[in-house]
Structure 1
Amino acid sequence: MDLDPRQTAAVRAVIETGSFEQAAVRLNLTSSAVSQRVRALETRLGNPLIVRTRPCRATQMGQRLLQFLRRAALLEDDFASDLAGANEALLSVAAAVNADTLSTWFFPALSDILLQENVLLDLTVDDQDHTHALLASGLAIGCITTEPAPMRGCFAERLGAMRYRMVASAAFVERWFPNGLTRESARRAPVILSSRKDALQARFLETRFGLPPEAYPCHYVPAPVPRYMAIQRGLAYGMVPELEFGDAVERGELIDLAPKQPTDVELYWHAWKVQSPRLEKLSARIVELGRTALGPPETKAKRKRAG
């Protein structure tokens, strides 16, 4: 089926910007012209593509179309680059990752290949339990997620487990946990979360003490570095990746509140099976470096004990 590129561009712009008005600005058209093009494609395909809400969002068929359009654009850009005889053209890749991955190993590890392959990243940061939905909706062509099973047309590669510890500063422990982390003290002490989607602390406190999320006070700080700084300064306690705090526990800067109860979060890289050559290289590098950074939890624990 031949799709009118003007109509598909209009649909993509509305989904990505969330409104017909913003899509019109992006395409240098009137809102009415954008609406006509969207309506024409919906009529041709026999399916609604956009839910007219605020913001506008894609229907299930619209999500599938967006997936196709983004993958086709990547393949076209890479093919054009091959025809030119070099990878000089910049390739934009939309991906979804969790904040702790982004703040620990993702950029340091991938900087070389991003430079070599002239890749522009268009990253969306979300909780690791929710990034897969962005791939399914067509808003990303790859994601790092806790979901192990690939959806149709995609592959999933295990990266490893990011190990978290429930930590606090010595001053915080002295004030809130003088007798250790107990059910009663956990009900009173402020914990710090990345957002209301953040289920790591909630699962820990519910499993260990039977406390529901509304049973204890919370700070909400979306960025990992400020969140960690808040813990260091005694404002709260919370889950922090071992990759982030390093040997701070051994140095006495932080206290592990549950040394026998680490939390391991399995992470996977998902992407489409049909990829452009540069995206294939990027995917392979993400898997390789993710496995190096995360590794089997048992192996990392042995290394830590040996050190």
Structure 2
Amino acid sequence: MLDYKLVEALAVVVAEGGFEKAGRVLGLTQSAVSQRIRLLEELAGCVLLVRASPPRPTDAGRGMLTLYRQVHHLEEGLSARLGLESSGFATLAVGINADSLATWFFPVVDGFLDSEPVLLDLRVDDQAQTHALLRNGEVLGCISDRAEPMQGCSVHVLGEMHYRLYGTPAYQSRWFASGVTREGVERAPMLIFNRKDVMHAALLAQALGSEPSGYTPFYLPSSEQFAPAIGSGRVCGMLPDEQAHGPVGRGELVDLLPGHAFTVSLHWHCWNLETSVLTRFTRALVAGARRVLAEPHRVLVGSKAQASG
């Protein structure tokens, strides 16, 4: 039987990104935290933590952390059902893509957070990558573009986010006065999230028959700053309908490719844990998302790669 405090030390070192920071959280010295990790590895008979900057778990360490987080969450749920005293808050680790976080996520869970003593530990990544956070046990649930459930997890359809290519009227007049062409796309400055972002390429290939041979990229890895940057008139770029609705309604932005959209289908995946907090959060998230997101239907589906959010 493993000592729970030793496994907790491993979890905090990974979560905080270092032994010194973990010591502050646990109220221990750095050397005491290191000693707990060494003792845990001796008991497990294998290396659980790669001593890098930041430290990261090995495959065996990830498996142990998955079990730890699940047990910890089950204990919180049991305490709540039995009416036992606790720290006052339960913590839910959730994987989420940056565009959902910047647009619809908080409006649909605000009511839940107002009524429940819950702290969110949000891990931001591309919707195609959040599934790995769940698989590795780093989160209890994630918003992902994958429809297939992982073993031990359930999946719920949330809805779709539709992305279109937008620019200001002045930008359109300068670069695409006669419509969007392959040659125009190669010359016109275009806002792109990062070098993994493939959304614009997929949309333009759909609209033009094949992808342009090149772009004039302006990189900006921030979902919150995408709309203001496009609104400056310097660049065009992809925005979800949730972000573009206001500026389009005010005439500040125009759809440069009417009739063409890049669609991301979003799903909520979570571990099959019998805990009331996770169940209620799932119910609130799924119901709220289905009210504000587009209903799923078969169109071009893909992902927007986001390295940091």
TM-score by length of 1: 0.87
Deviations 1:144-202 (A, max 9, x none): 01122222211111111111111111111112222221111111222223333433123
Amino acid in structure 2 at the alignment position of 1:128: Q
Structure 2 CA distance for aligned equivalents of residues 187 and 268 of structure 1:
34
Deviations 1:224-270 (A, max 9, x none): 33210111221211111112222644553322111121111110101
The question of 1:119 aligning with 2:118 is answered: yes
Contact 2:97–2:124 (8 Å) recurs in 1: yes
Q: CA deviation at 1:295?
A: 3.3
Structure 2 CA distance for aligned equivalents of residues 14 and 149 of structure 1:
32
Counterpart of 1:150 in structure 2 is 149
Q: CA deviation at 1:8?
A: 0.5
Amino acid in structure 2 at the alignment position of 1:132: H
Range moving further from structure 2, 191-200 or 233-242: 191-200
Counterpart of 1:201 in structure 2 is 200
Counterpart of 2:17 in structure 1 is 18
Q: In structure 1, the residue corresponding to 2:126 is in which secondary structure?
A: coil
Q: CA deviation at 1:111?
A: 0.8
Report the CA distance shift for 1:157/1:182 in structure 2 as closer, same or farther (over 3 A): same
Q: CA deviation at 1:85?
A: 6.9
Deviations 1:18-37 (A, max 9, x none): 22333233323333332232
Contact 1:189–1:216 (8 Å) recurs in 2: yes
Q: In structure 1, the residue corresponding to 2:151 is in which secondary structure?
A: coil
Contact 1:23–1:34 (8 Å) recurs in 2: yes
Contact 1:14–1:56 (8 Å) recurs in 2: yes
Structure 2 CA distance for aligned equivalents of residues 267 and 125 of structure 1:
15
Q: Which segments of 5 or more consecutive residues in structure 2 lack a partner in the other structure?
A: 299-309
Structure 2 CA distance for aligned equivalents of residues 137 and 163 of structure 1:
29
Contact 1:168–1:237 (8 Å) recurs in 2: yes
Amino acid in structure 2 at the alignment position of 1:110: V
Report the CA distance shift for 1:33/1:136 in structure 2 as closer, same or farther (over 3 A): same
TM-score by length of 2: 0.87
The question of 1:185 aligning with 2:175 is answered: no
Counterpart of 1:295 in structure 2 is 294
Amino acid in structure 1 at the alignment position of 2:5: R
Amino acid in structure 2 at the alignment position of 1:211: P
Structure 2 CA distance for aligned equivalents of residues 191 and 205 of structure 1:
12
Contact 1:71–1:275 (8 Å) recurs in 2: no
Contact 1:127–1:197 (8 Å) recurs in 2: no
Contact 2:128–2:146 (8 Å) recurs in 1: yes
Counterpart of 1:5 in structure 2 is 4
Deviations 1:18-60 (A, max 9, x none): 2233323332333333223212222222332112222211112
The question of 1:241 aligning with 2:240 is answered: yes
Counterpart of 1:210 in structure 2 is 211
The residue correspondences of 1:259-278 to structure 2 (distance < 5 A) are 259-278=258-277
Structure 2 CA distance for aligned equivalents of residues 152 and 45 of structure 1:
25
Counterpart of 2:88 in structure 1 is 89
What fraction of aligned residue pairs are identical, expressed as a percent?
Answer: 39
Deviations 1:48-93 (A, max 9, x none): 2112222211112211221221222222123223333799922111
Contact 1:8–1:41 (8 Å) recurs in 2: yes
Range moving further from structure 2, 167-176 or 61-70: 61-70
Structure 2 CA distance for aligned equivalents of residues 109 and 196 of structure 1:
31
Q: CA deviation at 1:293?
A: 1.5
Q: In structure 2, the residue corresponding to 1:204 is in which secondary structure?
A: helix
Q: CA RMSD in A?
A: 2.4
Range moving further from structure 2, 215-224 or 86-95: 86-95
Contact 1:147–1:268 (8 Å) recurs in 2: yes
Counterpart of 1:302 in structure 2 is none
Q: Give the helix-richer structure, 1 or 2.
A: 1
Q: Which segments of 5 or more consecutive residues in structure 1 lack a partner in the other structure?
A: 300-307
Structure 2 CA distance for aligned equivalents of residues 158 and 298 of structure 1:
12
